[in-house]
Chain A
Amino acid sequence: MRHVQFLARTVLVQNNNVEEACRMLNRVLGKEEILDQFRRTRFYEKPYQVRRRVNFEKCKAIYNEDMNRKIQFVLRKNRVEPFPGCS
């Protein structure tokens, strides 16, 4: 991926807090699936492995979506302050 140097995938360090900047960078890279792709392309992934991985990811996404919905349903609140004493 070609990008403008020091503009893309760059995090500025605030108050000499390097660790937080690193965490932020890793979060961005993780969310954009750049690190996943990097790890995946170290070795050749055979077509059957690609199929298996893609199917697994599909199933996982469906499961996660349904589970999130269920959790939201169980946790729903109908009161002015949803979690009293927790603010």
Chain B
Amino acid sequence: MYIKRAILSAVSFAKRATLPLGSLSSSHIHTSACSRKAEDRKEMLASLPAKDEGTVGEKSVDIDTLINRKAKFFPDATLATQLFNGMPFNELPVCNIRVSPNNTIISVTDYKGVPRLIRSCGIEGFKNTRKGTNIAAQATAVSISAKAIELGWKTIRVKVRGLGPGRMSAIKGLQMGGLNIVSITDNTQVSWNPPRPRKQRSL
């Protein structure tokens, strides 16, 4: 197929050069095909699919493209001393959010970890199943952020622990309450060799 194409191109070249087709000897065409051989091979290799490297992940590692595009989203070694609203990062107060399926507890501590404020959906007046909703979490977050602003803490770091309906909405509530969130950290305790957990719930 590639040789054929080479011949065709030789013919078209001949036409362009206004040479009569009959004057081309077969040997002429042959040499032309030879000279194009290397080029054609390159073309063919380029059009072939990439070389198979076995199972995905066998020889190469998939790295999330996030790291290249969004490097500024991730902390580095200089973050601890970086100033946010006139305060170094590691002296900003911390807002700990403990999320569970049935409740959301938010506490604000200073940078040493001494708790100053604590609110939960239960304290906020939501009882029973209503505690474990995103609306309750948001209301709690708004009320605690008002208290934190009273203390003069406007810029905070957020630590989230656990999974539940309040995870997202509590963070959103803090922002709605007027706090300036600098960073979000996940503090969920996960173990790959935990002690034996409780038995499965019977359904």
User: What residues of B have a CB within 8 angstroms of the CB of A31 in the complex?
Assistant: 64
Expressed in whole angstroms, the Cα–Cα distance for A29 and B199 within the complex equals 26
Contact between B186 and A25, CB atoms less than 8 A apart = yes
Count of chain A residues with a beta carbon within 8 Å of a chain B beta carbon: 37
Q: How near does chain A come to B203, taking the closest CB pair, in angstroms?
A: 11
Contact between A11 and B73, CB atoms less than 8 A apart = yes
Contact between A18 and B201, CB atoms less than 8 A apart = no
Known contacts A12-B74, A19-B172; is A43 also within 8 Å of B200 by CB? Answer: yes
Residues of B within 8 A of A (CB): 47, 49, 55-56, 64, 66, 70, 72-75, 79-80, 89-90, 157, 163, 168, 171-172, 175, 180-192, 194, 196-201
Q: How near does chain A come to B111, taking the closest CB pair, in angstroms?
A: 10
For residue A44, CB closer than 8 A to chain B, the reply is: yes
Contact between B190 and A6, CB atoms less than 8 A apart = no
Known contacts A5-B185, A22-B171, A76-B49; is A10 also within 8 Å of B56 by CB? Answer: no
Q: How near does chain A come to B42, taking the closest CB pair, in angstroms?
A: 14
Contact between B197 and A44, CB atoms less than 8 A apart = yes
Contact between A37 and B180, CB atoms less than 8 A apart = no
